[in-house]
């Protein structure tokens, strides 16, 4: 992954083999991404790179992340549960996203049309950061797949390690296991994940 912010806008994030090629989505959406960058910088946000993407910060807190996919490019808000979203622009990134946190763009014209609203949304998020506000969220209920329940019952070391994980890390394994279509696949995934669980890591951590 890239570590230099300019590389993203010139070559891409570096997370796939399309990096620095004409097929890179950062190049395909370059005009729109440049427009989002300008708006974020004009708002007074500090620019850095996180997870291979441009991240914009204020008052020591992540505010938004710029990203691009094949079908669109996006502005992703952190702490989005605080946002009032009066224009109804925020969407969930995926079925496992708790709160709507993403504005999608189909082209640079969308950015130009929404620029006043984007500036207002950024200002709102920056105000929350300055106040140190964080969303109050009820813990999400984690429903364990039957295969995982059986594995934990049969393996005290695994059970102790799993229950010591943060709710977010536990949830990452539940999502991974629940996406399997068969019980045999879920059992195989549990076996492959055992070492990471014992090490106290979430599924997506290295």
**Which portions of the chain are predicted below pLDDT 50?**
none
pLDDT of residue 95: 64
Scanning 155-198, the segments in alpha helix (DSSP H) are 156-164, 167-178, 183-198
pLDDT of residue 91: 95
pLDDT of residue 35: 98
**Which tokens hold the place of 150?**
């059986």
* DSSP one-letter code for 91: B
Partners of residue 57 on adjacent β-strands: 46, 62
Please say whether the beta carbons of 102 and 129 come within 8 A: no
**Which tokens hold the place of 72?**
């669109």
Pairing, β 46-50 against β 53-58: antiparallel
pLDDT of residue 104: 96
Q: For the CA atoms of the chain, what is the radius of gyration?
A: 20
pLDDT of residue 206: 82
**Which tokens hold the place of 23?**
């097929």
Partners of residue 56 on adjacent β-strands: 47, 64
d(CA 68, CA 15): 12
* pLDDT tens-digit readout, 84-142: 999 999 999 876 677 899 999 999 999 999 999 999 999 999 999 999 998 876 566 77
Reported for 92-100, long-range contacts at CB under 8 A and 24+ positions apart, including other chains, are 96/175, 98/137, 98/140, 99/135
The SS3 assignment for 30 reads helix
CA pseudo-torsion sign 51, 52, 56, 59: positive
């Amino acid at each position: 992954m890239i570590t230099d912010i300019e590389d993203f806008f010139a070559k891409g994030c570096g997370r796939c083999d399309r990096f620095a090629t004409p097929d890179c989505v950062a190049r395909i959406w370059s005009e729109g991404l440049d427009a989002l960058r300008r708006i974020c910088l004009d708002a007074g946000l500090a620019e850095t790179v996180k997870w291979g993407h441009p991240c914009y910060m204020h008052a020591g807190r992540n505010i938004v992340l710029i990203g691009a996919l094949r079908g669109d490019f996006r502005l992703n808000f952190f702490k989005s549960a605080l946002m009032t979203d009066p224009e109804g622009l925020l969407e969930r990134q995926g079925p496992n996203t708790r709160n709507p946190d993403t504005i999608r763009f189909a082209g640079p014209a969308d950015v130009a049309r929404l620029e006043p609203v984007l500036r207002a949304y950024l200002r709102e998020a920056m105000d929350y950061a300055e106040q140190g506000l964080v969303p109050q969220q009820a813990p999400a209920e984690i429903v364990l797949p039957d295969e995982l329940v059986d594995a934990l019952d049969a393996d005290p070391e695994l059970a102790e390690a799993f229950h010591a994980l943060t709710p977010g890390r536990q949830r990452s394994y539940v999502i991974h296991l629940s996406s399997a279509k068969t019980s045999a696949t879920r059992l195989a995934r549990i076996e492959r994940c055992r070492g990471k669980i014992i090490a106290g890591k979430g599924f997506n951590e290295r």
